[in-house]
Amino acid sequence: MKTQINGIEITPGMAELLEEWFEEGEESTPSLFVKHLNSIQDLLCRVLIDHNLVKEVDVKDCIASLICIKDDFKRLIPDDNEQN
């Protein structure tokens, strides 16, 4: 059985990720993504202004956040195997 929402087919992997996100309530992952991306934007602006203001730990945290966001969004793109 195929599930569609607004004409978009939802694969089992996509459904699993969306369920994880919405079980978290108000502090859901998409809301946290916005906060993480804002802090990364702030960090990059500080780097452009004065690279001495940024600590190595800040950069590592930002990179880790970007990797987590990328991994979650990759789960929203169905594999060829899931589409068939």
Answer whether residue 81 shows pLDDT above 70. Answer: no
* Residue 21 scores a pLDDT above 60: yes
Domain-wise residue ranges, the chain: 3-79
d(CA 36, CA 42): 10
C-alpha distances (whole Å) from 61 to each of 6, 43, 80 are 36, 11, 32
6-20 tens-digit pLDDT: 888 888 888 888 888
Per residue in 58-77, pLDDT tens? 778 888 888 988 988 888 87
Using alpha carbons, list the distances in angstroms from residue 67 to 18, 25, 53, 71. 18, 22, 23, 6
Specify the pTM: 0.64
- Model pLDDT, residue 77: 79
